[in-house]
Amino acid sequence: MVVANPLPAYLEFSDSAILCEDLKAGIQKVLDLSPDEIHRRITLGQDLIARKYSPQVIGALWHQVLKPDSKGNIAQTEGSQIRLNLGCGDKILPGYINVDVASSRAGKEPDVICDLRDLKTFESNFADEILSVHVVEHFWRWEVLDILKEWVRVLKPGGKMIIECPNLLSACEEVLKNPDIATGPGPEGQRSMWVLYGDPSWRDPLMIHRWAYTPRSLAQLLFEAGLQDLMQEPAQFKLREPRDMRITGIKPVEKK
What distance in Å separates the CA atoms of residue 210 and residue 197, rounded to the nearest whole number?
A: 7
246's enclosing H/E stretch is strand 244-250
| pLDDT for residue 37 | 87
| pLDDT for residue 158 | 95
What distance in Å separates the CA atoms of residue 166 and residue 73, rounded to the nearest whole number?
A: 34
Residue 48's contacts (CB-CB under 8 Å, 6 or more residues apart) are 12, 13, 16
Record the pTM.
0.68
For residues 52 and 123, the answer to whether their CB atoms sit within 8 Å is yes
Give the Cα-Cα-Cα angle 84, 88, 89 (nearest 5 degrees).
Answer: 165
Phi, psi dihedrals of residue 12, rounded to the nearest 5°: -65, -15
pLDDT digits (tens, 9 = 90+) for 202-225: 888 888 889 999 999 999 999 999
Q: 123-250 adopts what CATH topology? A: Rossmann fold (3.40.50)
Could you say which DSSP state residue 213 is in?
B
| pLDDT for residue 220 | 95
Answer yes or no: is pLDDT of 73 > 60.
Answer: no
Structural domain boundaries of the chain? 3-52, 123-250
| pLDDT for residue 202 | 82
What distance in Å separates the CA atoms of residue 20 and residue 26, rounded to the nearest whole number?
A: 5
pLDDT digits (tens, 9 = 90+) for 4-21: 887 766 777 888 888 888
pLDDT digits (tens, 9 = 90+) for 168-188: 988 888 888 888 887 888 888
3-state secondary structure of 42: helix
Q: Which of 36-40, 58-62, 200-204, 216-220 has the highest mean pLDDT?
A: 216-220
